[in-house]
Structure 1
Amino acid sequence: MSEKTGGNINLAGEKAWWQKPYRMVQTNLRQPDALYDQKALARETREFGANVLLYNIGGIYAFYPTDLPLHARNPMMKGDALGDAIEAAHQEGLALVGRFDMSKATRIAYEAHPEWFVHNRQGRPLEYNGTYQACVNGGWYQQYAFDIISEALGRYDVDGVFFNMFGYRTTTYSGEDFGICVCENCQRRFRQMYGKALPEREDFACEAYPDYVEFKDRTSRELSGRIYDHIKAVNPRVAMSGQRGKNDFIRMEVQRAVDRAQPEWPYQSGEQARWARAYAPEKMAASTATNFIDFAWRFVSETGAYQELRMAQQLASGATLDYYLLGVMDQQDKKAFPAIERLYKWHARNEEHYTGLSSAARVGLYHSFGTNAYRGRTDARAAGAQAFRGAYRMLLEARIPFDFISDEKLAETDLDRYRAIVMPNVACISDGEAATLDAWVKAGGLLIATGETGLYDERGARREKPALESLPIRERLTMRRDMRGAYFEADADEAEKTGAGLYMLDGVYHACEPRDGAMTLLKLLPPQRFGPPELCFPEVESDLPGVIRGQYGEGDCCYFPWHPDALYHRDSLPDNRTLVTSFLAERPDALPVVIEGNGLFEVTLQRQVETGRLLVHLVNYSGQHNNLYEDPPVLTGLRLGIRGVGPTGRTLVAGADVSAEPSEGGDLRWFVLPPVGTFEALVFEA
C-alpha cells in the first residue's frame, strides 16, 4: 500500500482513513466510464476537496480483467480500469474504496446456474435490462461472490470496499412488484429454520410472515458477517462499510424519490446520522448524498442548497461527508458542485474539530428496529412512521439537542447521561428493554411515551399488560378508533402554562385507567357534530385524560394515550409540540443549550473527548419549502445560552470570535451570534 493513501497502515499510531473524518466522492460507473482518463478522475476528485474515491470493482460487471468465467467483464473496457484508478488515486493521496454489486449478475451466470437467482411464484426470474437478481440464499451470493472477492482483493491494493443493494428485493428499478422469492433455496432454508412453508405474500395476515421478517434479517446479516470475515482473511487491511452487523465504518444513502408521498421529509440526512451514532458511536459514519433527483433522471442534479443542507445535518450529528455521482466528475449538470466543493474544502481546513466527537445531548429519542419491522401487527399501525417523525420534528423544531437510543444497542448504551427519553408509539418492546428502561426511570429519568408504547413484544405479539412498569396505567388499553371531531380541554392552570385551551384530537384514543396516585391532565371532549353550524356545540363531556403522569421511584413518566406526535407531523400545530416539550422544559439539566431568536433551525451539541471542547451546530432550514430547496435567508439576532463553557468561543463558518455577555444570573453563558447562513459551527473550551 502506498504511504500516500494514509490507508489502513499505522504510522506512529495514526488512525486509518476510515477512523477519521473523511470526504468521499462515489462514482457509480457506467460501462463507458472505464475509458475515462483515470489520472484525470483522481486529480479532479482531489481538487474537489475529497480525500476518498469510490470506484467500481465488480459483481455485475468486472472493471478489471477477471479470470472467473461467470463474472462478466465490462465489454467496453480496454486494459485494466481498476488497476489504473488505484494507481492514480494513490498518487493523488486519495484512499480508494472499491464498489461491489453482488445483487445481480448477467445472463452468463443465470444460464449456468438459474437456481442461484430470485424466482417468484409464477416461476419468473427477477430480470431487469439483462441482469438477474441474486437470491441471498443462492449460490451466487453464498459461493461465487466469495470467489470474486478473493480474486479482486488478492490482486488489488484497495483501501476499502462497499457493497451495493445487499439483501432481499421484490421490486425492479421501475417499481414493479415482483413478489417474494420462492426458489428452492429459500423454501428449504425457511423450513429448516421455522418448520413451515414460506408465506404467500408480504402481509402480516399470513401466519408465517412474522417469521419471514426475521428470516430475511437473520440470513442477510449472517451472509454479511461471512463476507466481512472473508475480506479480513484475504486482506485484513481492507475496511468494509456497512450498516447493521459487522463492518468497519457505516455508510448509508440519502435521496429523493419523486413518487414518495409529500410533504418532503427534510431531515432524512440527520435522521440517518443520529441512527448511526446510536448504533455504533465508536465508528465513523456518513450518508452519501445522491447528486441526482431520482433513478429515472440520474443526470439532473439537486440544488447546491439541498446538498449543503443534507451535509450540514451530517456534520451536526457527528457524521462525515459523502457525495454520490452516476458516472465520473465530468457531469453535464454541475450546478451543485460549487457549493459542495466549498464545503469539502472548509471541512478539510476544520477537520481537527470533527475528530473524536461524542454527543453531549441529554434527551434521547427512542429508535425501535423491532417496532419498524413489526408495527404491521399492531392496532395503531396506521400511525406508521408518523409518530416517530412527529416526535423528531417536535424536538428539532423546539431547538432541543437530542440523540437516538437504539433498541438493538440499548444494553450497551450509557443511559445515565440522559435526563429524558421520548418513546413515540414504540409498540414493540422486549422484556429486557422494558426492564432496562424501568430501571432508568426509577433512578430519576423522565420518560415521555405515546400511543401503544410497550403493548406488544419485540415481534409484535399482543401483551396482556404493558411491558413498562413505569407507565402510570393499569392493564391494556381499549382503543377508540374514530375520534374525528374530538378535543382535549385544558383547565385554567394548564392553559396558562402552554398557551392553549383546546387541543385537536383525530384518529384514535386509548382509553385506560390511571394507576393509583397518578396525576391526570387535560379532559377529553368526545367527538362532536361539526355540521351544519347550528348543531356545532358539545353535548357530552368525559373525565378521560389527555396526559397521565406518575412517579416511579425517583423518576416519573408522562403518558399520552393518543398520538400528539403523529398529529404534529400531519398538521404542524405548534400547540402539540409545546404540550409535549413543556415536560422537558421542567428539567433544565436536559437542555444544555438554549437559543433565542426567530427562524427554523436545528441545534446539536457535541463534545470532543480528547480536548473537552464543546461543538455547537446550528442548521438553517429556512430555505426549504416542502420539496423546494433554495439558499436559506440569513438568520440574524440569535443569542445562544450554553452551560459549562468558558467566556469565549469561535465560529468556524463566520470565522469570528464571540464573547459572553455580562452575567444575567443562572448557569447559562449567553453569546450574541453572527448571522447564520446554511449552518454555523461554534467551538467552546470547557
Structure 2
Amino acid sequence: MTKTLLALLALIGSTLHTLAQDQGGFWWKRNNLRVIQTNLPDYEAATLNADSLLADLREYSANTLIINAGGIMAFYPTKLDFHYQNPYAKPNTLKDVITKCHEHNIRVIVRVDFSRVHERIYKAHPDWCYLSPKGERMINTDMYVVSINAPYVQDRAFRIIGEIMDTFPVDGIFLNMPGYQVRNPYEDKYQGIDQNEYDQKAFAAYSGGLKLPLEENSADPVYRKYLDFKKHSVEQWSKKLHEMVKAKNPQTAICTYMDRYVDIIRHESQSNTTLPYWPYTASDNVGNASNSYPDHIISNGSIQQLSFQSRYNAVEPVEAQIRLYENIANGSGLDLSMMGDMRGYEDERNFPVFKKVYGHHQKFEQYYGKYKSVARILVVSPGSWAHGEPAQEYRGIQLMLREAHIPFDIMENTQLGNQAGRLKDYQTIILPEIVALDSTSLTAIKAALDNGTHLIATNRSLADHPEMLAAVFGAKIEKKDYDGAGNYLVPDNRGVFKRFEKQKMISWKYNLGMYDLKGADQTFLPILGKGRPGPPEIIGGHEPTGYYAMGLKNHPKSKAIILPMNLGRLYYMHGYQQDKNILLDVIDYIIPEASRQLRTNAPARVEVILKEFARNIPENQQKQTMEGLILHLINLTGFSGNTYFEPLPVRDLTFEIQSDFKPSKVFAMKSKRTVPFKWEKNILKLSLSELEDYEGIVIMR
C-alpha cells in the first residue's frame, strides 16, 4: 500500500471521527478544550516544523492549537498587498501544521491581530492609523496601531480573514487585542483617545454631530456618549465578522475577549504586577465569565510570560499548576499561551506541569466541563478585568469566602439585568464597591430582593443611586469618602458578632463612609472617633461619633445590609482576620445555612470547589439532569504571599456535604482510590487521607 493511499485513508478516518464528534452540535460546545497557543515571533516561522509541533501537542495531550496566521503579518503566502508578509515564513508550514493536526484530531484555531500594521502599510495609508490628541502615533518598533473605524479594520481585515478561510480548513479564528486603544501596553505608555479622521466622522454620525472628547472624564456627557459609541461600533464590527465567518463555515469558532457574536470567550491569567499577588486568578476569571455569559464556552489562558518586557521568562511552575487546576475545577478547559513552540524554549520549568495536568484532564475528561453550580451566594464583580480599588474590595470579599470554604458564584455587574431570572435562585447577593448599575440591573436586584434574596453592599456600592440606597437600605450618604485611619468599630451586638468574644474594638483603615442610617431597622458597629494620637501616656478619647458602620433594613421576604466601608480591601491588603469575621458573622446571621452547605477541616489555603456534574460524553450533550457531585481540592499551601513554593501535603481531611442522595460510589481521580463515606439525613461525610497538589472526588448518584 502506497504512502499516499495510507495518508488518504488516515485523513478519511480522521474526518469521519470528527464528523461523528460534531453530530448534535458545534465542536466547541463539548467544552473539553486542551489548548496550547504558540505565540510565534516572526523569526520562529523559519524554524517551525510541523512534525515536531504535532509530536509535542500529542505528548502534552493537547486537542486544540492556536497558531499565528495573519493581521500584523502573514505567516503564509498572502496575495493581498495590504497584508504584510512575514519574511521568515515558509510557504507550506501553516498548511502542513493544519493538515497534520487534523490527521490526529487536533483542532486548529488561527490567531489574527488587526491592532497594528507594518510601517510599509502605514506609509502608504497613514489615515488608517491611530492619532493621539497631541498628534502622535502609537508605535512599537515598525508596527503602527490602527484606528478601528478606518478602512483597514472596517474592510481589509475581512479580506484577510476571507483569504485565510478560503486557503485553510481552520477550526476557529482567535481575534487578539480587539477594540479601541488609548495605551501602548507593550511600553505602558498612555497616549489618549484616538483622534483619527475616520473616528471623528463615525462618532459625529453616531452622536448627532458631537466632536470626539480629548480626555477620559466620566463626568463629561460627551465622554459618556463616546463610551456608548465605542461599545456600539465594536459590536457592529463583531456582528459583521460573525456573519462573514458563519456564512463560510458555521463550524468555525470565533474566539476573543468579548461576548457578543463570539463562540469562545477567551480570558487570561496574567502575572501579577502589583502586590498582593492574587492566586485565584483562574477561578476568578472562569467563574465570572461562565456565570455572566452561561451560553458561551470559556477558555482562560495561563499566560506564561512574566510581563510584556519579560516574555522569555515564565511564571513559577506552581503558579501555572494552580491556574490550570482552577480552570478545570470551575468548568473551563485547559489553555496556556507561550512565546513560540516548545522546541528550544527559553524557560521549560513549567513543561512537567503541563504534561501532568493536561494528561489528567484527557484521562478523566468525562468528569469535567459539564457542571452546575450549588452556590447560594452571588458576588458581583466590577467587570471582567477588575483593577484598582474596586478590584481590591471585590477580591477581598472573594478571599473571605474562599478561605471559609463557602461556595459562591461570580457575575459581572453589567450582566445582572441579562441574568435577572437567575438572581432569584441565590439566597444572598453581595455588592463589593459596585458604585453604579444600569437600570435593568437595578430592577433585577430589586426583584430578587422582593422575591426573598438578601442583599449585602460594601463601601461605596450604589453611591450613584441615592434613591436606591434609601429604598433598599434606609441609608443616606453624608460623607461617602472619609479616611478611617484611627477610628474604631465596636462589635456591640454579640448575637450577631459571635466571633468577637474577646475583642471590644476593631481598628480601621481606608475608607469609612459616614452614612445616615435612620431609615434602617437596625444599626450595628458604632463608629468611634479618632481619639488622641501620640505616645502611650496621652492616647485614648475614642468617643462615639453617632455613626454606624452597618445598617440592616427588613423587607417582606428578605434583609438588606449596608457596610459603607472598605471591608474587602482591608482584608485583601492586610489580611486581618477580624475584618473577615465581620462578613462571616453577617452571613451567619442572615443565612446560617450557608456555612452548613460544606464543612471541612481543610486549611484556608486549600481551595474547595463543589459542583454538580454530568459526565461529559457525546451521548450526554443534551442532558440537563446531573449525575452527582464533584469536589475539587486545590492545594495552595505553597503560596506565601509573593512566592509560589511546592504545596505541603495535607493529611486527614474530612468533609460534610449537604446531599439529597446517597452516593452509589465515591472515588478520587488523581489518587485512583475509593473514598470511604457515610450518608445520613442528607449529610454526606467523607474523608481523604492525603492531598498533594490536587484531587477531584467524584460522588456518583
The verdict on a shared fold, with TM-score over 0.5 as the criterion, is yes
Match of residue 640 from structure 2:
625
Match of residue 465 from structure 1:
467
In the superposition, relative to structure 1, how do residues 177 and 662 fare at CA in structure 2: closer, same or farther (>3 Å)?
A: closer
Q: What does 1:164-179 correspond to in 2, within 5 Å?
A: 164-172=176-184, 173-179=186-192
User: Which of residues 435, 442, 451 is equivalent to 2:450?
Assistant: 442
Of the structure 1 ranges 221-230 and 156-165, higher mean CA displacement relative to structure 2 is found in 221-230
User: Which of residues 321, 330, 342 is equivalent to 1:308?
Assistant: 321
Match of residue 576 from structure 2:
573
Of the structure 1 ranges 402-411 and 651-660, higher mean CA displacement relative to structure 2 is found in 402-411
Q: Is the 8 A contact 2:426 2:453 kept in 1?
A: yes
Match of residue 682 from structure 1:
697
Cα distance in 1 for residues equivalent to 2:385 and 2:283? 20
Match of residue 393 from structure 1:
399
Residue ranges of structure 2 left out of the alignment (5+ in a row) = 1-10, 614-623
1:63: how far off?
A: 1.2
Match of residue 283 from structure 1:
296
1:480: how far off?
A: 5.2
Match of residue 317 from structure 1:
330
The amino acid across from 2:115 in the alignment is S
1:69: how far off?
A: 0.7
Say yes or no: does 1:590 pair with 2:604.
no
Q: Is the 8 A contact 1:654 1:680 kept in 2?
A: yes
Q: List per-residue Cα deviations over 1:518-572 (Å, max 9, x = no partner).
A: 1111211011222122221125323322211121111111211222112111221
In the superposition, relative to structure 1, how do residues 371 and 70 fare at CA in structure 2: closer, same or farther (>3 Å)?
A: closer
Aligned residues: 667
1:152: how far off?
A: 0.8
In the superposition, relative to structure 1, how do residues 662 and 466 fare at CA in structure 2: closer, same or farther (>3 Å)?
A: closer
Cα distance in 2 for residues equivalent to 1:280 and 1:517? 35
**SS in structure 1 of the partner of residue 472 of structure 2:** coil
The amino acid across from 1:187 in the alignment is Q
Q: List per-residue Cα deviations over 1:474-523 (Å, max 9, x = no partner).
A: 44443352322000012262554444422222233333333556111121
Cα distance in 2 for residues equivalent to 1:474 and 1:517? 7
In the superposition, relative to structure 1, how do residues 369 and 307 fare at CA in structure 2: closer, same or farther (>3 Å)?
A: closer
Q: Is the 8 A contact 2:382 2:390 kept in 1?
A: no
**SS in structure 2 of the partner of residue 252 of structure 1:** strand
1:227: how far off?
A: 1.3
Of the structure 1 ranges 142-151 and 225-234, higher mean CA displacement relative to structure 2 is found in 225-234
Say yes or no: does 1:343 pair with 2:357.
yes
In the superposition, relative to structure 1, how do residues 327 and 41 fare at CA in structure 2: closer, same or farther (>3 Å)?
A: same
Say yes or no: does 1:196 pair with 2:210.
yes
Cα distance in 2 for residues equivalent to 1:57 and 1:140? 17
Match of residue 541 from structure 1:
544
User: Which of residues 242, 250, 258 is equivalent to 1:236?
Assistant: 250
User: Which of residues 605, 611, 634 is equivalent to 2:610?
Assistant: 605
1:464: how far off?
A: 4.4
1:217: how far off?
A: 2.6
Residue ranges of structure 1 left out of the alignment (5+ in a row) = 374-381, 457-462
Match of residue 639 from structure 1:
654
Q: Is the 8 A contact 1:8 1:16 kept in 2?
A: no
TM-score by length of 2: 0.90
Of the structure 1 ranges 613-622 and 317-326, higher mean CA displacement relative to structure 2 is found in 613-622
Cα distance in 2 for residues equivalent to 1:639 and 1:28? 43
Match of residue 417 from structure 1:
425
Cα distance in 1 for residues equivalent to 2:68 and 2:13? 22
Q: Is the 8 A contact 1:455 1:465 kept in 2?
A: no
In the superposition, relative to structure 1, how do residues 33 and 418 fare at CA in structure 2: closer, same or farther (>3 Å)?
A: same
Of the structure 1 ranges 278-287 and 195-204, higher mean CA displacement relative to structure 2 is found in 195-204
Cα distance in 1 for residues equivalent to 2:389 and 2:675? 44
1:21: how far off?
A: 1.0
Q: Percent identity?
A: 25
**SS in structure 2 of the partner of residue 386 of structure 1:** helix
In the superposition, relative to structure 1, how do residues 39 and 370 fare at CA in structure 2: closer, same or farther (>3 Å)?
A: closer
The amino acid across from 1:212 in the alignment is Y
Q: What does 1:239-258 correspond to in 2, within 5 Å?
A: 239-242=253-256, 243-256=258-271
Q: Is the 8 A contact 2:469 2:475 kept in 1?
A: no
In the superposition, relative to structure 1, how do residues 63 and 383 fare at CA in structure 2: closer, same or farther (>3 Å)?
A: closer
Cα distance in 1 for residues equivalent to 2:235 and 2:123? 28
1:607: how far off?
A: 1.3
Of the structure 1 ranges 170-179 and 563-572, higher mean CA displacement relative to structure 2 is found in 170-179
The amino acid across from 2:462 in the alignment is G
Match of residue 239 from structure 2:
225
**SS in structure 2 of the partner of residue 469 of structure 1:** helix
Match of residue 460 from structure 1:
none
Cα distance in 2 for residues equivalent to 1:454 and 1:86? 51
The amino acid across from 1:440 in the alignment is A
Cα distance in 2 for residues equivalent to 1:468 and 1:383? 25
In the superposition, relative to structure 1, how do residues 528 and 367 fare at CA in structure 2: closer, same or farther (>3 Å)?
A: same
1:207: how far off?
A: 5.4
Q: Is the 8 A contact 1:387 1:566 kept in 2?
A: yes
**SS in structure 2 of the partner of residue 466 of structure 1:** helix
Q: Is the 8 A contact 2:289 2:384 kept in 1?
A: no
Q: Is the 8 A contact 1:597 1:639 kept in 2?
A: yes
Of the structure 1 ranges 630-639 and 642-651, higher mean CA displacement relative to structure 2 is found in 642-651
Cα distance in 2 for residues equivalent to 1:551 and 1:248? 42
The amino acid across from 2:594 in the alignment is A
Cα distance in 1 for residues equivalent to 2:493 and 2:111? 62
Q: List per-residue Cα deviations over 1:339-370 (Å, max 9, x = no partner).
A: 11011011001100114212221111012449
The amino acid across from 1:407 in the alignment is N
In the superposition, relative to structure 1, how do residues 430 and 205 fare at CA in structure 2: closer, same or farther (>3 Å)?
A: closer
User: Which of residues 26, 50, 55 is equivalent to 2:37?
Assistant: 26
Q: List per-residue Cα deviations over 1:413-435 (Å, max 9, x = no partner).
A: 31232111111121102232222
User: Which of residues 78, 83, 89 is equivalent to 1:77?
Assistant: 89
Cα distance in 2 for residues equivalent to 1:430 and 1:412? 11
The amino acid across from 1:400 in the alignment is I
Match of residue 459 from structure 1:
none
Q: Is the 8 A contact 1:8 1:237 kept in 2?
A: no
1:406: how far off?
A: 2.9
Of the structure 1 ranges 583-592 and 16-25, higher mean CA displacement relative to structure 2 is found in 583-592
User: Which of residues 654, 669, 686 is equivalent to 1:671?
Assistant: 686
Q: List per-residue Cα deviations over 1:265-319 (Å, max 9, x = no partner).
A: 2221111101211122233212111222222222222222111101111112111
In the superposition, relative to structure 1, how do residues 383 and 72 fare at CA in structure 2: closer, same or farther (>3 Å)?
A: closer
**SS in structure 2 of the partner of residue 607 of structure 1:** strand
Q: Is the 8 A contact 2:424 2:448 kept in 1?
A: yes
In the superposition, relative to structure 1, how do residues 617 and 371 fare at CA in structure 2: closer, same or farther (>3 Å)?
A: closer
Of the structure 1 ranges 160-169 and 609-618, higher mean CA displacement relative to structure 2 is found in 609-618
Q: Is the 8 A contact 2:669 2:696 kept in 1?
A: yes
In the superposition, relative to structure 1, how do residues 539 and 78 fare at CA in structure 2: closer, same or farther (>3 Å)?
A: closer
Q: Is the 8 A contact 2:628 2:698 kept in 1?
A: yes
Match of residue 617 from structure 2:
none
Q: Is the 8 A contact 2:331 2:370 kept in 1?
A: no
TM-score by length of 1: 0.92
